[in-house]
Structure 1
């Protein structure tokens, strides 16, 4: 019985040490979120960022050039597929959609600048439009007709 307890205790200790070593190894591999390399050479204000260029098509994963002190690195970036390319580095707070304009069959909303990413040039306010929905929205209390 003592030997079984000793073996169990040794196995538990070995698993704990292995898990800790694996965890420590993952955090220092210099992967996607390791910013210590660029931070030691340049401050955020000195760094110049280019536009995010998707690898395939016009959205999805891509690369962005980051330049500082005559050194250019390519860093990973992502353009959401449901977003406009010209404002991808500018984040806006949008109001509700306006009523449908019957002449153009579109509805509009405006947004105010909330945050600028990668030293991008952004407009302080922006207007976006989308086609009107052909379906009539129902409130939560309404039931489907039989």
Structure 2
């Protein structure tokens, strides 16, 4: 009976330690903050441009400077967005009609929010190539 109790206690100890280890791995780095966060407010901190690790987009790093201390923090540039307005959030309208001379369509956006104290334009205009496919209405049938 004493042997069974010892095995059960040992098994309980192993399960407890493995659960605690798994929790520590899952939450690693999520709540880590640099020392400057407590010393400086967001208004006092100056942020640099996000520089992607590879290519023009994806995960990268930016400098955060406060009281003569510079730290590098992680950032991300979406791969389907323009680098020059990546730290600015805009509300865009619908895409305009296709311009046949340039084969592009455009839309404009107004500034919603500037991230990381970025200097943003009040309005921006973005363009994209016109779609080569002609959209059909529901009543049209395929011609074979």
TM-score range for the pair, normalised by the shorter chain length: 0.7 to 0.9
Alignment partner, residue 88 of structure 2: 90
Alignment partner, residue 23 of structure 2: 23
Alignment partner, residue 126 of structure 1: 124
How far, CA to CA, are the matches of 2:93 and 2:9 in structure 1? 60
Q: Does structure 1 residue 69 correspond to structure 2 residue 62?
A: no
Unaligned runs of 5+ in 2: none
Q: Single out whichever of 41-50 and 132-141 deviates more from structure 2.
A: 132-141
Evaluate the alpha carbon distance shift between residue 101 and residue 16 of structure 1 in structure 2; reply closer, same or farther with a 3 A threshold. Answer: same
For these two proteins, the number of residue pairs brought into alignment is 144
Query: SS of 2:84's equivalent?
Result: helix
Q: Single out whichever of 117-126 and 32-41 deviates more from structure 2.
A: 32-41
How far, CA to CA, are the matches of 2:11 and 2:134 in structure 1? 63
- The list of structure 1 runs, each at least 4 consecutive aligned residues, that deviate by more than 4 angstroms after superposition, is 3-14, 139-146
Alignment partner, residue 101 of structure 1: 99
Unaligned runs of 5+ in 1: none
Task: Using structure 2 for the length normalisation, give the TM-score.
Answer: 0.80
Q: Single out whichever of 39-48 and 63-72 deviates more from structure 2.
A: 39-48
Q: Does structure 1 residue 38 correspond to structure 2 residue 36?
A: yes
How far, CA to CA, are the matches of 1:32 and 1:70 in structure 2? 26
Alignment root-mean-square deviation, CA: 3.0
Cα displacement string for residues 107-132 of structure 1 (whole angstroms, at most 9, x for unaligned residues): 11011111111000001111111111
CA contact (8 A) 1:32 1:76 kept: no
Task: Using structure 1 for the length normalisation, give the TM-score.
Answer: 0.79
Evaluate the alpha carbon distance shift between residue 25 and residue 104 of structure 1 in structure 2; reply closer, same or farther with a 3 A threshold. Answer: closer
